[in-house]
Amino acid sequence: MTSAADSEDRDAGLRSARHLRLAQRVREALTVLDRLQAHYPQFSRLYQERGHCYIQLGDAPAAIDALREAVRLNPTLPASWDMLEQLYRMLGDTDQASVAAQTLAVLRQLPPEVVVANSLYADGDLSPAEAVLRDYLKRDGGNVGALRLLARICTDTGAPEEAEALLTSVLDRAPDYHAARLDYAMALLQQQKPLQARQEAERLLGHDPDNRDYLKQYGAACVALGDHEPVIDLYERLLTGEGQLGGGEAASETADLRVWRANALKITGRQAEAIADYRTALAARPEYGVAWFGLANLKTYRFSDDDIAHMGAAEARPDVQDMDRVYLCFALGKAFEDRGDYATSWQYYARGNAVRRTTSRYRPEVADACADRLKQVFTAEFFAAREGWGAADPAPIFILGLPRSGSTLIEQILASHAAVEGTQELTEISRYAGELCGLDPDCGLPVKIEAVTRLSASEVRRLGERFLAETRAYRRLGRPFFIDKMPNNFWHIGLIHLILPRATLIDVRREPMACGFSSLKQLFGTTNQEFSYGVDDIARYYRTYLGLMRHWNDVLPGQVLRVSYEDMVEDLEGGVRRLLAHCGLDFEPACLRFHETRRSIRTPSSEQVRQPIGREGLLQWQNYAPRLGPLREALGDSLTDYRY
């Protein structure tokens, strides 16, 4: 999305180049366009203007190259297609001239407003494109092309619900509009509806089983469902199949596919193959930060001297993209930590956090306000008045708390029991909270929490039944109990107990310095855990978490089992017996041999919990103690209060 300031600056440069060309100062115009490209390389109309310049200079091949790039970036440029047709005919290339002519004919059949909006959208001008479309749809509300484009704009601007509604309308009118159905599957996935998204992808594949975009969408839906085994072969099929891109785009696609496949291999416990795929990705794209971080995030991988030198050189480049720099910094932090060079390791962790924090929208005051409102709404009286409400099924086990607290260990222990199935960090509960209360756009926390007080007994029960129905897609083993390991569900304990009063709740707690440092050195995916990129935010979030957990324990006494990570490490059998007793499960020795359990594990601790329990993580933070004074100070009383 192009900002208003960038759009104005970009368009002013284009006008300057055009005026120079019309004044017969073509070389100067080309110089302006070169400068413009350095800042806005995806701006299609600069390439169209460059085509005009080369035509004026009589350089047909250069003009064709410029115009082809223009229509690659923006297929809805009639002037570019018109010039391409004429140039190809002049050079005797009738086939290409025919393609250009046919494309131009299609564009001329479309409403001009739709063509203009498409062109604006391709150049990132979403607001003016939306304005054009909404005005046009007042006159022709059934135009499926306009509705689909408006849905894409809604998706890009953070309105996936409207996008879904628009695309539903499109598909009702035109069920064979496959491009719209692909957008619909993407919108469903964005709204954390992976089963429906996969069903839409399957429908598309029934029409075209070799379509690469459909296969990628199917793979993404499988990953979201926690079904990683099928995507390993699927990505290999895409890597070896026909229809791949050429040149640099082929290398970029290969790197992406290799990383996606490596991630699936890692999750399913096939580490050696995962390493090979990460390495193949790096062979295709040597500065690919995601692949370097993927190796680091295995936690057990050790980088060579050459690896470190290569990552360091890539990170030092002034033109490296911000997120590549972040990935490289966290990978280098891990590399130097493994070598015992904690000073250099800290420098990279600190740099990666600083860059990542510039894109974070987390606001601690929103989290504090949410915690206060939860305490006001979910009182002991609230629960007493609603006793017996909700769905009575005891199947769900919620493992929650702070990230990097040891929750994956507890999940692996429980998933080693014959009666329990481990799934993944499910998103259904937070989605329900958003539907009921609205979510803060920056922090993803519920806003109008008092909305739950207006729910009737039947509505509460239906919401619990909906959770059981919607999570059935993640349960493949037919076991009586299943785990939802979303740490952030500690915010939603009140809602969980309301709709699922017999669910098991387990709060995994870790010593605050160890937990805080572990969060500080972990790069989380996408917008997850955005509080974790600064010492003050981490400490404040930890304190907010403690305060909210005290409240839940006060109003729901005995409902939430607190499990100490440190106690579990020191006395595994005692901790396991206590854990199983709280879940109403008989003791099974397999739970002590949790590292032998083969299952998909999606969290950063996946490789660590495939090994016997060790004490390494208890005091790891002390290697950085001289640099963690601000964290200790910011945690304050939490350093002792966390035990109570």
Domain contains 588:
yes
> Quick one: pLDDT band at residue 595, thresholds 50, 70, 90?
confident
How confident is the model over 402-430, as a mean pLDDT? 93
Q: The whole model's pTM is what?
A: 0.82
Please determine, for residue 232, whether its predicted confidence score (pLDDT) is greater than 90.
yes
Task: State whether 329 and 375 are in the same domain.
Answer: no
Could you give the angle at which helices 78-91 and 60-73 cross, rounded to 10 degrees? 150
Domain final residue pick, 109, 131, 159:
109
Instruction: Name the band, by pLDDT with cuts 50, 70 and 90, for residue 409.
Output: very high
Token pair, residue 618, equals: 């208890």
Contact 143, 137 (CB under 8 A): yes
Encode pLDDT of 254-284 as tens digits: 999 999 999 999 988 899 999 999 999 999 9
How far is 526 from 425, CA to CA, in rounded Å? 14
Residue 509: strand pairing partners: 564
| Total domains in the fold of the chain | 3
Distance CA 396, CA 166 (A): 34
In a shared domain, residues 512 and 623: yes
At residue 63, φ and ψ (nearest 5 deg) are -65, -45
Taking residues 414-431, what's their average pLDDT?
Answer: 94
Question: Do residue 452 and residue 319 come from a single domain?
Answer: no
Is the CB of residue 91 less than 8 Å from the CB of residue 60?
yes
Are both 318 and 390 inside the same structural domain?
A: no
- Domain match, 348 and 437 both: no
Same domain, 418 and 505: yes
Q: Tokens at residue 355, please? A: 């860059």
For residue 531, tell me if it sits in a domain.
Answer: yes
What CATH number did the domain enclosing 583 receive? 3.40.50.300
**What amino acid occupies position 380?**
A
Provide the domain limits for residue 313: 301-359
Identify whether the C-beta of residue 498 lies closer than 8 Å to the C-beta of residue 429: no
CA dihedral 229, 235, 241, 242 (to 10 degrees): 140
Tokens matching residue 644: 């109570």
Report residue 285 CA to chain centroid gap. 22
Whole-number Å distance between alpha carbons of 421 and 415: 5
For 564, the enclosing helix (H) or strand (E) is strand 560-564
Residue 446 DSSP symbol? B
Is the domain of 353 the same as that of 374? Answer: no
Q: Is residue 285 part of a domain?
A: no
* pLDDT, tens digit, 9 for 90 and up, residues 377-390: 999 999 999 999 99
Distance set, CA 469 to CA 434, 462, 474, 475 (Å):
19, 10, 10, 10
List residues bridging with 424 in a β-sheet.
484
Per the CB < 8 A criterion, the answer to whether 597 and 590 are in contact is yes
For residue 99, the number of C-alpha atoms closer than 13 Å in the C-beta half-sphere is 9
* Distance in angstroms (rounded) separating the CA atoms of residues 25 and 11: 19
Do 506 and 629 fall within a single domain? yes
Q: What is the pLDDT of residues 312-363, one digit of tens each?
A: 999 999 988 899 999 999 999 999 999 999 999 999 999 999 999 998 889 9
